[in-house]
Amino acid sequence: MYRWEITKAALEQRVFAIVRADSYEKATATADTLLGAGLTSMEISLTTPYAFDAITTLRRETGEETVIGAGTVLDGPSARRAVDAGALFLVSPSLDEDVIRTGHRYGVPVFPGVATPTEMVRALELGADGLKLFPASAHGPRWLRDVAAALPQAPVLPTGGITVETAPEWIAAGAVACGMGSALTEGDREAVAKRVTELLQSLADAAPAGTPGSYR
């Protein structure tokens, strides 16, 4: 797929899961639970032991409708290793030009971290495919609404402190998707499935009229 196709698929549900665990086994188990609940997009944080192996395993064992990426990608060498492992997109908590350049060199979309309008514009100039607003807990949907009035072309992905309750508010304020971690994974498989189903519906309801997909 082309970069724009991957980006669209990764953000189609208006949420992507963040899998961060203290072992390979826990990471793959969490990913399996989320996939079973109906989520189709997630990142495996490189802070997880053997994260590259987890990415490779999930890419091998899941279908083409699933989009597995790498998170917490801090530099060019890590970006290259993630791509080699099979990551279909790269997410970073910071704005690093080499991560964007490396991802794009191999046809992989990159969502770098930003925290200010200045960083958002800089990320757009560098060709970022989406802007990870991090940490979102330091801002709020009202802040995003104000910024979106000046930068409507910026595809913002608030991450960090997003909950099932607040995610729809971010989408209504103009976010194209939200990154969520433990807020999605607490409880058993039945609880996770119920939570994900309700979340996907609430995000679809919150999206502004005329936006059939999250990436616009």
Active site residue 97: no
Angle at 46 between CA 41 and CA 87, to 5 degrees: 45
Q: Which listed residue (43, 125, 190, 198) is catalytic?
A: 43
Active site residue 43: yes
CA torsion sign for 41, 45, 49, 52 is positive
Q: Which listed residue (8, 119, 125, 132) is catalytic?
A: 132
- Active-site positions? 43, 132
